[in-house]
Chains A and B, each alone.
Chain A
Amino acid sequence: MNPLRWLTGVWQGRRIPLSWLLLTRQPVRLAVALAGISFAGILMFMQLGFRDALFDASVTVHKMFNTDLVLMSPRTKSSISMAGFPRRRLVQSLADPQVQGISPVHWNLLLWRNPQTRGTRSILALGFEPTDPLFLDPKLTAQSSLLTQKGRVLFDELSRDEFGPVAQWFREGRTVESEVAGKRLRVAGLFAVGPSFGADGNLLTSSETFLGLLPNTPAGSIELGLIRLQSGADPEAVAQRLRQRLPKDVIVYTKAGFIEMEKDYWRSSTAIGFIFTLGAAMGFVVGCVIVYQVLYSDVSDHLPEYATLMAMGYPLVTLLGVVAREGLLLAVLGYLPAYGAGQVLYGVIHAATKLPVAMASDRAITVFTMILVMCMASAALAMRRLGDADPAEIF
């Protein structure tokens, strides 16, 4: 069948766009409906955006590492409470023929003194051997060599402003020095990760400097062990072997499992994931109520007209279609402003909180689906009113 001819046939067979006219000839009611739907959409965009941003932000540090497997203490539940384990466990993993290299990492929250206001604030500090190929980003690995000198740190330029104008001063060429855990440190360079809900800023330094800041750390204790495998090795299989070989005072994760553990902590062990999901659900319910109100009163107001159409010989299906199309139009027309406002608000939130919120396509689709379901469900409920349209009553 010729598609052009088919399209022409569809175009020729079109009817009066009754749904569109029903909506647009009552501009006030349409505006109310669209405002309601958009509001619901914006609410969903915000809540889901915050939730996803929380989960994404919580693993930006995790994603930086160039690693296949990680070792951690079984007492570690999340990145804000990393427990130590013996470094020799990491060395033991080298016994596996497929393990290519290892890197121990110190990981803790330390107090950073704002060089401008002198106030202190908790910052996430990582300590490692500056010569190790620790990061996926080659620029960051290159920058790490600056840390070989003791007392030098790399500062996350996306850290919250409360840590002081460190990045700005550094770019201006000033020597930026501050105090961490009571020790004087100098900023040797900048990198970009951004804050998460657990840490407001990030700091990279050498193991030597790190241990100088925390002199009470037990000898040979680390918080994270990175294991790089030979190319072609199956991480899951190696992880399985290591789990059998190593004592129970460490657990082995793949990189994906490491990221998932962190996300899972925020999702299930805190109320945050639930709260934002609930917020999105409330937006959905509010939207449903508004759309249902609008469509129901629309059908009620036009009941004699619908009855007239039935008297003229239009089947009930046609009328149900009119209401369904009204729902569809409302969904599309209400989604567009919500999408635009979502974009703008994400920009505002990103500027204010430095959280990685952006219009992700899967979220855009999720919210549209929710709005569509909301409008079509409301239309389906409003359609029941059409059953009251009795053409015999209009004489």
Chain B
Amino acid sequence: MRLTVPLTAGVAVILVAYACGGGPPPPPPGPDLDSLNEAQRVRDSIEAARRAREDSLERVRRDRERLESTRSDSLDTMRRASERVRQQLEVMVHYEYNVARVRAEDARILDAKLAILQVNPGLRIQVSGHCDDRGSDEYNLALGNRRALAAKQYLVDRGIDESRISTESFGEERPLDTGMNESAWALNRRSEFSITAGGAQLREPGDR
């Protein structure tokens, strides 16, 4: 009994010193089985607590990574979807020579834009009309305007507010192909579509 008190006090000193991370512990007292076992238990419990804490931190890190991965996948998916929508919007329509009427085969291209405008109410676009270089330079500005207006009217007639679509004409001033042949001219007779507002995050038609 007289021995127990100093031993307990010694362990306490060791623990305090250990916990405080102070200098090297004083040399252990002479070998005593009980005190050694007690010290081991204390060390084990400390180690267990440390491992538990690390395990917990690891779980939190893994959960966070999983969440971030999920969120990243989701953002990437949305970005890809938005890019698909943008590409769909930028598909051009083409025209016959000296004609501003939308061709029947190009109606589906405008239908795709119609659906996009419907599911993205904040989206605003600009339609620019272009011509081949065979007509009068100045008349082609008027013809390009007619072509842009025809594409816009197609969408307005199907319910899109006209304030969401602006138009401009470049006449023959922005050829895609400077060749002097029918394929070049056909390529240049076109309307182009660009986003003027609300294009940061675009939803695909059919998204809920």
Asked whether A and B interact, the reply is no
**B interface residue numbers (CB < 8 A to A):** none
**A interface residue numbers (CB < 8 A to B):** none
